[in-house]
């Protein structure tokens, strides 16, 4: 070594409580991530899907749809109009 070099001690590694510290970090991270994914799914997929269903059923006529399917002969209990 040269005469002007400064010798430094290495910091001791943390050995006590390391597992607890890492586990706590991963637990908090996973909870935050899962809440974020849940919120993103709700507003990214759930809400648009609810709006699409509401829009579909706003103009849906079940009786008209039933008559269309009955005329096609899709029901065995109802005679088809020929």
pLDDT digits (tens, 9 = 90+) for 54-79: 999 999 999 999 999 999 989 888 88
Tally of CA atoms within 13 A in the half-sphere of 42 that contains its CB: 6
Q: CA–CA separation, 27 vs 53, rounded Å?
A: 37
pTM of the predicted model, to two decimals? 0.62
Q: What is the pLDDT at residue 6?
A: 81
Q: Dihedral sign for Cα 14, 15, 17, 20, please.
A: positive
- Three-point CA angle 28, 34, 39, nearest 5°: 125
State both tokens at 47. Answer: 């809400």
Task: Give 50 or 16, the one with higher predicted confidence.
Answer: 50
Q: Residue 73: helix, strand or coil by DSSP?
A: coil
């Amino acid at each position: 070594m040269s005469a002007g070099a400064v010798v430094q001690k290495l910091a001791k590694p943390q050995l006590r409580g390391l597992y607890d510290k890492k586990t706590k970090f991963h637990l908090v991270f996973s909870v935050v991530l899962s809440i974020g994914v849940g919120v993103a799914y709700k507003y990214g997929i759930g809400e648009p899907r609810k709006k699409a269903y509401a829009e579909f059923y706003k103009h849906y006529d079940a009786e008209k749809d039933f008559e269309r399917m009955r005329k096609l002969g899709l029901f065995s209990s109802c005679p088809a109009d020929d």
